[in-house]
Structure 1
Amino acid sequence: MTVNLASRMDSTGVSGRIQVPESTSHVLAERGFVRELRGEIYVKGVSERQGNVKTYFVRSRELCSSYVERSVNRAALGLGRNTLSALVFTLVQTRKRETQREANGGFHLLEVS
């Protein structure tokens, strides 16, 4: 479902703009990204089960006005990588860990090499 939704965000988007579903837009807004409501769209494979999907365009990143704000944002993304790609990578890694934890009965098993 997640991969299908990501693919549909790309295929139903507008050239030169980044389109995301509402849940992702909330995460981006918390990290200082400006979002612009696109509206609800029909997303094949998703809308049949859940109805139309509310989507947003990611416009830009707000400039932090203080050193404290910049430091907090860097800490939230880790290692100062305060970019959209770093945030997406973090979201994917978090989801992967959650899936592994669910598959292991709520425990996160570490791999031993």
Structure 2
Amino acid sequence: MKGLIVLDHIEKITTDELQAKLEAGEKLELVDVREDEEVAAGMIPGAKHIRMGTIPDTLDYFDKDKEYIFICRSGNRSGHVCQYLQEQGYKVRNMVGGMLDWKGETEA
């Protein structure tokens, strides 16, 4: 299609793959982009909470040499964040299925 910009492929990680990495002690950069009331119900331990709407204003938090795994309720919003940040040159991965599929522990 004329004028259509095709984005690079967004890397994905499943909830099971992420849980296995965390249980193996891997140090990962997790970012939960849900709203405040959603994270109040629990987040993956170690995740940083940065609401989706504030991502453009918090780019100084991110390091282009690190990979970040983005999390939301179902994987849709985090996918949009991944697309945006990948366009800015960041290494990103989307947790598909989101917190709806997460079976691991959570913390308030």
Whether TM-score is above 0.5 comes out as no
The structure carrying a bigger helix percent of its residues is 1
Higher relative contact order (CA 8 A, sep 6+): 2
For normalisation by structure 1, the TM-score amounts to 0.26
TM-score, normalised to structure 2, is 0.27
